[in-house]
Amino acid sequence: MMAFRKWQHSIHLSFPQLMRSGSQTQIRSVSPRCCIVPVHRMSFTTASGPKCKGTQPELTSKKHAKLKRGNFARLSGKHVDHFQSLLGSASQVLTEDLDGYNTDWMNIMRVSKILRYCNDQKLAVVPQGGNTGLVGGSVPVFDEIILSLQLMDKVISIDQMAGVMVCQAGCILEKLDEQLADYNLMMPLDLGSKGSCHIGGNVSTNAGGIRLLRYGSLHGSVLGVEAVKADGEIIDCLSSLRKDNTGYDVKQLFIGSEGTLGVVTAVSILCPQRPKNVSLALLACSTFDDVLSSLKEARNQLQEILSAFEVFDNDSMMSNQTNLKLMNPLKEHNFYIVVETSGSNQSHDEEKLNAFLETVMGSEIINDGIITTEPSKIRILWGLREKITEGLLHDGYCYKYDVSLPLAHYYRLVEDMRVRLGDRATRVVGYGHVGDGNLHLNVTAPAYSAELHSLIEPFIYEYVAKLRGSISAEHGLGFIKSKYIHHSKSPQAVVLMKQLKKLMDPNGILNPYKTLPHTD
Amino acid sequence: MMAFRKWQHSIHLSFPQLMRSGSQTQIRSVSPRCCIVPVHRMSFTTASGPKCKGTQPELTSKKHAKLKRGNFARLSGKHVDHFQSLLGSASQVLTEDLDGYNTDWMNIMRVSKILRYCNDQKLAVVPQGGNTGLVGGSVPVFDEIILSLQLMDKVISIDQMAGVMVCQAGCILEKLDEQLADYNLMMPLDLGSKGSCHIGGNVSTNAGGIRLLRYGSLHGSVLGVEAVKADGEIIDCLSSLRKDNTGYDVKQLFIGSEGTLGVVTAVSILCPQRPKNVSLALLACSTFDDVLSSLKEARNQLQEILSAFEVFDNDSMMSNQTNLKLMNPLKEHNFYIVVETSGSNQSHDEEKLNAFLETVMGSEIINDGIITTEPSKIRILWGLREKITEGLLHDGYCYKYDVSLPLAHYYRLVEDMRVRLGDRATRVVGYGHVGDGNLHLNVTAPAYSAELHSLIEPFIYEYVAKLRGSISAEHGLGFIKSKYIHHSKSPQAVVLMKQLKKLMDPNGILNPYKTLPHTD
């Protein structure tokens, strides 16, 4: 821990005590499936671990009884035999025992042949990566075939000088970041689910996360994509060039379209220099205006070394304490802020961070704080922010929302929701990437209740739409939010999207019922 | 000028003498047209000022005699009357006197009505911004109507806290940057043509430039686009949110598609914090390997403050000296490097830059150098890099290429071209954004010669294609490079592009003969 004289009074915690439970549980998806599997018993509610304590998640098709299955073929023995012949004897088409199966057969030509066949036979397909999504985008709704990219997990090349990595879609984000460390490079994105999410899934869902503030969105960082269209046509735009203005940038179609326009099989990504030192400050303040004042000051004083600016409220902290037995290292306040800096010169970075802290503590914007440069302690402090999602599940049922709002209205939504729901909710919490205007609003209750649900929705979507915010900032629309697209996109834009879907996937076999509103 | 003890020997220039001629001439396009004008006498060769000394540029349709005019309607009095009725009495449809006309009539509804009418009547249209492109993308080939966005030049909003500016397409880049200075913000892109290029044109062509190294491409920085499709349909994706994963990111279709898929009428753009201080170093070295070693060291030591890393060869410097009477402030060397740093703390930045310079001069990678932090001197040193294009025109005729190459092959192309052309060329020069792998290769000769042309092309495209480079890194394809698209894009990708064009503009009225290869 760094000793900053001026605010030593606030360092009142010995770090080893921070986590009373020693719990290291990570939010994980159910075990990813491999090969091609028709799955009838999966539903989106399994995508992010149990949402209901002690009960089995309900089937999507049961929960949405009015939803009609598309006019797709049903899988038969003939189809399974054909897939088996495509994959060869060393591989296996799985139809029942879906866990932990592993063979080494996947490549782009096979993805192409599988999709071509499915398209000809009108068999619906769900492309699946690490299955860590939160909106039911990567799991089947009816009896769609799962096409898992799990076995396409090879790094193709790393160019240290250019800072570019090319790899297959099934690579796990955290493993890629570890490999890049040897080249003094890093992934331009970081997510809570990094231990299991796939880069192909990240690209297909335009994943955000905590580094977006510094390194921007994947629409900028992804230099190339190799994808397969529904008809099996391979679109090779796997360029590793930073600049290439030759024709339309068609790879953008596959970034964030949730596998509905094509299956991403490989990506080329711009990787920034790995910072030589990282510092983390956990700060506390009384009002959301103080949070915004701190953000403004951080932008001004930390500029090029600011790598994250996250907020969470006291209700989030209380859940951490009650549900996960994590300790609050600071005195209780209404808001907590995580400020991370990453730079190339430790003494410069410390000096800047120190000056920033002097300003915000001197002007009483910030009332308490703790900082560290030790990696293990940084992980513990980040845990307070990253484990909120996990902690909330212990309340019973969790209604999850992920919105972008103008900063002036960012936290007002949480306060208004709290008033609206009153005692019906166990907790109404707000946390997220305030530096990007991205709020995670979560409501917990002992169990799912249609009444509570109807008080939250469509209220929240209308609230966000009125402020021209986004009803899904980084999670995407997937299955459960696709019907709300009109709250964030104009009718003309949605028509254009539907035209694009029709063009790229005329039979609609790719990830049906996702992203775009269902039409009968 | 900063005094860096260790290399004071290299500061051997008094700055006021740097520019002997005092010339401040800027590369400018011909005066932009306003309103709607059918122009028969314009050709792409006027787009970037004269390419031939003392002669009138040849008409495109004359130079490309085999090119067939599309099956479009020809403009008649009836059409002109209709446009006049759309625009009202305060406006004017120009058909002859095209210079300096100025009225205040343009808005999105009118653009929509104009395009709807043109689409119904099958009248071809060229959307035009500042007309500073280099590939004939913004000028008519036959008798297309020019739709100038010049009068849509309003800034709609600047959000200092979020760092987002929303403005109309006709705003001039440099003026936007000046306005942002009041908010401690800056444009994320900077180009030699900033004094006349429009933000709408920048977005439509996915402009690159010297800040791309630091702030990334417009596919990442542009948060929102308002555009009008060929049929007059308005696509309002003018979001100013950093994160919005609701459906397909259709705005990406308009970024870099050169106005062939729609006319960009407004943009929302992420603007980084304006750095508090900028330093510039002009360095000299003997080999291209030294350039790459310097780049590697700059990435390592300057990391987060590195804002530009540009190279130019001695032939470029010689042209500056001979043609523009600019003085070389360093001893003659084979290569010159411009290293720019931008940061929030002057003493930190100087310390980092100093350490970098000590390393590269100590290890004799760099043999000579000069640095400054004074804005006026920074402009003069930047001028040595930015005026190269202008200087080369004085040789007579200039063949211009803009490619991306793997860094190991970056300068080899220039050397190979020099050997190939021998005495036939006046100069073969290489310069550009080496930090992004983007090389500008220019060949000059006293006058245009078909023989020299045929020695350069298709040789250069095949050379670049073999190395999986890009045959147009930042200039786009426009009219003159569209037929070479296959050298950088797969047949399947080009088919997909053609399908997108057909979907968005079924009559092909938007910027015909551009971007995609012409088909009869």
Cβ of A472 and B245 within 8 Å?
yes
Q: Cβ atoms within 10 A of the Cβ of A104, count?
A: 10
Give residue B99's pLDDT. Answer: 42
State the smallest CA–CA distance between residue A472 and chain B in angstroms: 6
CATH class of B5-25+275-389: alpha beta
Residue A33, pLDDT score: 32
Residue A5 above 90 pLDDT?
no
B36-148 and B155-270 agree in CATH topology: no
Query: Could you tell me if B204 lies within 8 Å of chain A, comparing CB atoms?
Result: no
**Contacting residues of B for A342, CB less than 8 Å apart:** 304
Both structure tokens of B157 = 């909003």
Which of the two residues, A8 and A286, has the higher pLDDT score? A286
- Distance, in angstroms, between B413 CA and closest chain A CA? 17
C-alpha to C-alpha distance for B215 and B191, rounded to whole angstroms = 13
Which of A304, A475, A500 lies nearest to residue B344, judging by beta carbons? A304
Mean pLDDT of A421-432: 98
**Residues A487 and A461 sit within 8 Å (Cβ to Cβ):** yes
> Chain centroid to CA B411: how far?
21
> What are B430-476's pLDDT values in tens digits?
999 999 999 999 999 999 999 999 999 999 999 999 999 999 999 99
Asked if the model's pLDDT at residue A44 lies above 90, the reply is no
CA–CA separation, B518 and A438 (whole Å): 44
SS3 at position A340: strand
Is the sign of the CA dihedral B179, B180, B186, B187 positive or negative? negative
Which of A100-114, A504-518, B137-151: highest mean pLDDT?
Answer: A504-518
DSSP for B111-131, written as a single string = HHHHHHHHHHHT--EEEESS-
Closest approach of A54 to chain B, Cα-based (Å): 32
Is A476 close to B245, i.e. CB distance below 8 A?
Answer: yes
- Burial of B64 per CB tally in 10 Å (0-12, 13-18, 19+): middle
Bridge pairing between strands B427-433 and B438-445: antiparallel
pLDDT in tens, A212-268: 999 999 999 999 999 999 999 999 999 999 999 999 999 999 999 999 999 999 999
CATH classification (class only), A36-148: alpha beta
Is pTM beyond 0.80 here? yes
Rounded-to-integer distance, Cα B40 and Cα B95, Å: 10
User: Who's near B8: CB < 8 A, 6+ residues apart?
Assistant: none
Average pLDDT in chain A: 86
Asked whether the beta carbons of A241 and B470 are under 8 A apart, the reply is: yes
A89 in helix, strand or coil? Answer: coil
- The one-character DSSP state at B96 is S
Q: Is A31 on the interface with B (CB under 8 A)?
A: no
Task: Give A 254-313 residues with CB within 8 A of chain B.
Answer: 255-257, 261, 270, 273, 275-276, 292, 295-296, 299-305
Given this model, what pLDDT does residue A85 score? 82
Give the tens place of pLDDT for each residue, B80-90: 888 888 876 54
Q: What is the pLDDT of residue B151?
A: 86
pLDDT band at B104 (very low <50, low <70, confident <90, very high): very low
Q: Is B157 on the interface with A (CB under 8 A)?
A: no
Q: Which of A249, A233, A238, A222 is nearest to B260 (CA)?
A: A249
Instruction: State whether residue A406 is helix, strand or coil.
Output: coil
Q: Give the whole-angstrom CA distance, residue A238 versus residue B241.
A: 28
From the CA of A343, how many Å to the nearest CA of chain B?
7
The reported pLDDT for the residue numbered B519 is 65
The amino acid that residue A244 corresponds to is D
CA neighbor of B123 nearest in space, from B102, B145, B90 = B145
Q: Which residue of A has its CA nearest to B305?
A: A304
Residues 6+ apart with CB under 8 A from B149: B106, B127, B128, B129, B168, B169, B170, B198, B200, B263, B264, B265
Q: Print burial letters for A57-66: b (CB count within 10 Å at least 16), e (below 16).
A: bebbbeebee
Partner-chain contact B244 A406, CB within 8 Å:
no
Which stretch of A67-81, A188-202, A314-328, A341-355 has the lowest confidence by average pLDDT?
A67-81
- A449-466 confidence digits (pLDDT tens): 999 999 999 999 999 999
Residue A176, pLDDT > 80, answer yes
Q: Please say if the pLDDT value at position A52 is more than 50.
A: no
Percent of chain B exceeding pLDDT 90 equals 78
A386-395, A477-486, B39-48: range with lowest mean pLDDT: B39-48
Nearest chain B residue to A492 by CA: give it.
B235
d(CA A37, CA A83): 10
Q: Is A217 on the interface with B (CB under 8 A)?
A: yes
Residue A55 CA to residue A447 CA, distance in Å, equals 10
Answer whether residue A11 shows pLDDT above 70.
no
Q: Does residue A67 come out as left (phi exceeding 0), alpha (psi in the -120 to 50 range) or beta?
A: beta
CATH number of A5-25+274-389, picked from 3.40.50.720, 3.30.70.2190, 3.10.580.10, 1.10.3720.10? 3.30.70.2190
Residue A300 pLDDT greater than 80, yes or no: yes
pLDDT of A91 strictly over 60? no
Q: Lay out the sheet containing B164-168: strands in order across.
A: B155-159, B164-168, B263-270, B222-228, B234-237
Angle separating helix axes B108-121 and B77-87, nearest 10 degrees: 160
Per CATH, the number for B395-478 is 3.30.70.2740
Region of A429 (left: φ > 0; alpha: ψ -120 to 50; beta: rest) is beta
The pLDDT, as a whole number, for residue B94 is 66
Report residue A2's pLDDT band, with 50, 70 and 90 as the boundaries: very low
Contact A292 B161 (CB under 8 A): yes
pLDDT at residue A278, as a whole number: 96
DSSP per-residue letters across A451-481: HHHHHHTTHHHHHHHHTT-BSBSSS--TTTT
Using pLDDT thresholds of 50, 70 and 90, give the confidence band for residue A303. very high
Q: What is the ipTM of this complex?
A: 0.88
pLDDT tens readout for residues B22-79: 222 222 222 333 334 433 322 222 233 333 344 556 677 777 888 889 999 998 889 9
Average pLDDT over residues A391-397: 97
- Select from B160, B244, B261, B344 the residue whose CB has the most chain A CBs within 10 Å, as the one to mutate to test that interface: B244
Q: Give me A464's structure tokens.
A: 């966000």
Task: Tell me the domain boundaries of chain B.
Answer: 5-25+275-389, 36-148, 155-270, 395-478
CB contact at 8 A, A515 and A170: no
Pairing mode, if any, of strands B397-404 and B438-445?
Answer: antiparallel
Strands A125-128 and A145-148: parallel
What average pLDDT does range A473-495 have in this prediction?
95
Instruction: Report d(CA B474, CA B481) in Å as an integer.
Output: 12
pLDDT band at residue A110 using 50, 70 and 90 as cut-offs: confident
**Number of residues assigned to chain A:** 520
Answer whether A443's CB lies under 8 Å from A427's CB: yes
* CA B279 vs CA A466, B1, B306, B424: distances in Å: 45, 9, 10, 40
pLDDT at position A357 over 50: yes
Q: Considering only the top CATH level, what class is A395-488?
A: alpha beta
Tally of CB atoms within 10 A around A331: 10
Choose from A164, A217, A241, A243 for mutation: most chain B CBs within 10 A.
A243
Cα–Cα distance between A308 and A337 in angstroms, integer?
10
Task: Supply B127's token pair.
Answer: 């959307």
Q: Which residue has the higher pLDDT, B350 or A11?
A: B350
Q: Decide yes or no: CATH 3.30.465.10 for domain B155-270.
A: yes
Is the pLDDT at B520 greater than 50? The verdict is no
pLDDT at A62: 77
Cα A80 vs. chain centroid, distance in angstroms? 33
